[in-house]
Structure 1
Amino acid sequence: MPPVKHYSSSEVNQYELSTRLLSLTENTSYTLTQINGQRIYRKATHAWTGPEPSRSCEVFIGRIPHDCFEDSLVPLFQQAGELFEFRLMINFSGWNRGYAFAMYTTEAEAGNAIRLFNNYMIRPSWQLGVCPSINNCRIFISRIPPTTPSAEIVRLLYALTDEVQEVRIRRAVASCAAIVEYRSHRGAAMARKALVAAAAAAWGCGARPAVDWSLPQSPQLLKQYREIGRWSPERGVELTRVPEDSPGASPCNASYTLEPWSQARRLRMIQEAQRNAAAVEWSNRMSSGLEYLSASMGSLSVGGLQERVWAPPPAAPRAPSGPPPCPPPGPPARPLVPTRDDFNPWTAPHPMYEFIHGKEAR
């Protein structure tokens, strides 16, 4: 594998980069042009005869470092086969947007590129992602004001975007959505960018329509959109409605499914809300348990605890001088033994004191 050139954000020289990019086209049959946020490295017209390769010959390249350009990527992907076109997405600052498309001359070469460069370590701890390219030409628009006539929706979409083929509309009691089909993926991408900025102003009335990619292949879901609209300068807006009792028609009660990343984002939001609710419930249980414990401790009798505190016994009266008095008749008195309540381990004699000292005396 050839070494991949690395430009840090503080060392990139645009003049040097332009020189490196121009060297790709010297003594080759390729041209390099930049248009609409993408730089296209493509075979020259005189170097290719016949139809262009099909969409199945194109691969999608993701997770590209933002300071990695064609002078590193094109030689790398040419090892899998002959490139017909390499498109790198560029933003306004000149850095790439992290993904590109490589079209080979045959399907076998495209499969070879996926096998060689999917999870390829282009830099330490930085792997590329390579997979077949999906030609998604549909845009999904939701939250359209339900009072907007279908003819007005079709007219606005044809006026705001280019390359529109047809508009499919689905209506419910309080909602309206549409799927717009374009001639190419590029047309759909440009239309999505334009609709995000202009759809809210176009519909007005405080509308906040949501614009996103739709699933590229969804024939069952498309049957839910029964109104099909087209526009032409000669005929204007033409609306046709698919009858509900047509073969294979499905009930119009399910919403259109967005891209998988949108589903994952919604799933993460639901899981986060569930975790927050569980944390609140746990804190409520802990606070109620502490309140019960403090109430139980407050009900204890402090006076009863003080009565059990040991106190030294009162001093015995001094014995009078003279012979001891005779003990009264009767059974011998039991020796005084400290009770449990008046026992003090710090002043009480050792239990074996008398035995030890009596033995020494003997």
Structure 2
Amino acid sequence: MESEPEAKLWCDQVNPANKAALEAWLRETGIRLVQVNGQRKYGGPPPGWVGGPPAPGSEVFIGRLPQDVYEHQLIPLFGRVGRLYEFRLMMTFSGLNRGFAYARYSSRRGAQAAIAALHNHPLRPACPLLVCRSTEKCELCLDGLPSALPRRALLRALHPLAGALTGAALLPSPLRPPDNIALLRFSSHRAAAMAKKLLVEGHLWLGGEQVTVDWLKPELKQQLRLQGAGEPSSPPPSPAPWAGPEDGGPPACALAALHGLCQRQQLGAPVFLTKCLGSSLTGWYYFWYQVVIPGHAVPFSGLMWVAVDHGGQNEHEAAKEAVALRLLDVLGGPKAWMAPETSPPGSAGDLVWARAAAR
């Protein structure tokens, strides 16, 4: 495996002439590019922008790009036909582009002008650009949900995304009966893409099952319409991330329940180590954790995304709660958090945002 300095040196040697030209253009124009999540972005909004973002339909997709082309050639070209609100170039680790980009204009008229003027434009000899309307996908599909999962439990699990979530529907799955699927609609393509990234990286579990997260495909949407399934409806006001037992949710304090379980099984008090490795703009924190239980042969450790309830709870407390809930499952099954004489109000696995395998 290459070391970090060796990898950086290799990346620096890829396409050096155009990289140097890009850096010179940035110094000359004062334009600022931000690289995040595999893409390099200008604007969104650009300097001097007043008001909200442009209406849907103002973005174009740009394809058939030579991989050694950068923004110093593309932004001026696409800026000639209309005012750019945002330009996003998809990037590889080596610093080449991935062959496509998105240009968002201040209005739909700008997008229409770009398609009319620049589709099949010969950026280089025998290299015509593909420029077409961006689909701006805003809907996700969660497949593999247990048929008994209530909609309220789904919304509680999606609480960290509530600010961008504009609709949700829980329906029978035509792909994996008798499971359910959830259709989620977001306020923008960017919000949907960020939600998809977080849900996939977070390994979302609901009702004890790991959920498959993907874009809602047109053919599936059409199939659901033929079956009479409705569009995603508006969700109620953001629910609390944890519900009480009367709602079929997990206990109010999994950490206390874990301490109680360890005491009953004479394992000794668990000791938690948590380290926050990063965070997202939508309220998720990425944690490494290790839990030592004196009476257990090996410590438990792993990585997980954690959602934080900001009602007086900090991210480390949230991480300990999420890890404790996971260990209750491992040590005593889904009913371990309940007192022996208590009848089960619901599944303790319903609302785990991200569960890492204990090892």
TM-score by length of 2: 0.51
Structure whose CA Rg is larger? 1
C-alpha separation between the residues in 2 aligned to 1:43 and 1:174? 43
1:75-111 CA-to-partner distances (Å, cap 9, x unmatched) read 3323333433211122333222222111233433322
Is residue 161–residue 194 contact of structure 1 (8 Å, CA) maintained in 2? no
Q: Structure 1 79/19 Cα, relative in aligned 2: closer, same or farther at 3 Å?
A: same
Q: Structure 1 210/186 Cα, relative in aligned 2: closer, same or farther at 3 Å?
A: closer
Is residue 40–residue 89 contact of structure 2 (8 Å, CA) maintained in 1? yes
C-alpha separation between the residues in 2 aligned to 1:232 and 1:188? 17
C-alpha separation between the residues in 1 aligned to 2:122 and 2:162? 40
Is residue 154–residue 231 contact of structure 1 (8 Å, CA) maintained in 2? no
SS of the aligned residue for 2:178 comes to coil
Match of 1:209 in 2: 212
Alpha-carbon offset, residue 144 of structure 1: 2.0
C-alpha separation between the residues in 1 aligned to 2:217 and 2:159? 18
Match of 1:190 in 2: 194
| Unmatched tracts of structure 2, length 5 or more | 1-10, 244-359
Which aligned pairs between 1:200-279 and structure 2 lie closer than 5 A? 202-203=205-206, 205=208, 207=210, 209=212, 211-215=214-218, 224-225=229-230, 229-230=235-236, 232-233=238-239
Which aligned pairs between 1:56-67 and structure 2 lie closer than 5 A? 56-67=57-68
Q: Structure 1 162/191 Cα, relative in aligned 2: closer, same or farther at 3 Å?
A: farther
Alpha-carbon offset, residue 37 of structure 1: 2.5
User: As a proportion of its length, which structure holds more strand?
Assistant: 2
Which aligned pairs between 1:97-176 and structure 2 lie closer than 5 A? 97-159=98-160, 163-171=164-172, 174-176=178-180
Structure 2 residue identity aligned to 1:213: L
C-alpha separation between the residues in 1 aligned to 2:70 and 2:88? 11
TM-score by length of 1: 0.51
C-alpha separation between the residues in 1 aligned to 2:134 and 2:109? 14
Match of 1:293 in 2: none
Larger RCO (alpha carbons 8 Å, 6+ apart): 2
SS of the aligned residue for 1:99 comes to strand
1:318-355 CA-to-partner distances (Å, cap 9, x unmatched) read xxxxxxxxxxxxxxxxxxxxxxxxxxxxxxxxxxxxxx
SS of the aligned residue for 2:145 comes to coil
C-alpha separation between the residues in 2 aligned to 1:29 and 1:51? 24
Is residue 24–residue 71 contact of structure 1 (8 Å, CA) maintained in 2? yes
Alpha-carbon offset, residue 137 of structure 1: 1.2
Match of 1:47 in 2: 48
C-alpha separation between the residues in 1 aligned to 2:19 and 2:87? 17
C-alpha separation between the residues in 1 aligned to 2:98 and 2:227? 32
C-alpha separation between the residues in 2 aligned to 1:175 and 1:233? 24
Q: Structure 1 195/112 Cα, relative in aligned 2: closer, same or farther at 3 Å?
A: same
Q: Structure 1 220/112 Cα, relative in aligned 2: closer, same or farther at 3 Å?
A: same
Match of 2:14 in 1: 12
User: As a proportion of its length, which structure holds more helix?
Assistant: 1
Is residue 39–residue 90 contact of structure 1 (8 Å, CA) maintained in 2? yes
Structure 2 residue identity aligned to 1:37: G
| Unmatched tracts of structure 1, length 5 or more | 1-8, 238-362
Q: Percent identity?
A: 33
C-alpha separation between the residues in 2 aligned to 1:44 and 1:144? 38
Match of 1:290 in 2: none
Alignment RMSD: 3.8
Q: Structure 1 221/101 Cα, relative in aligned 2: closer, same or farther at 3 Å?
A: farther
Q: Structure 1 154/39 Cα, relative in aligned 2: closer, same or farther at 3 Å?
A: same
Structure 2 residue identity aligned to 1:224: A
Match of 1:266 in 2: none
- Give the number of aligned pairs: 227
Alpha-carbon offset, residue 142 of structure 1: 2.2
C-alpha separation between the residues in 1 aligned to 2:136 and 2:150? 30
Q: Structure 1 221/153 Cα, relative in aligned 2: closer, same or farther at 3 Å?
A: farther
C-alpha separation between the residues in 2 aligned to 1:104 and 1:41? 12
Q: Structure 1 192/20 Cα, relative in aligned 2: closer, same or farther at 3 Å?
A: same
C-alpha separation between the residues in 2 aligned to 1:44 and 1:167? 28
SS of the aligned residue for 2:147 comes to coil
Q: Structure 1 183/57 Cα, relative in aligned 2: closer, same or farther at 3 Å?
A: closer
The range that moved more, 33-42 or 154-163, is: 154-163
C-alpha separation between the residues in 1 aligned to 2:26 and 2:170? 47
Is residue 42–residue 86 contact of structure 2 (8 Å, CA) maintained in 1? yes
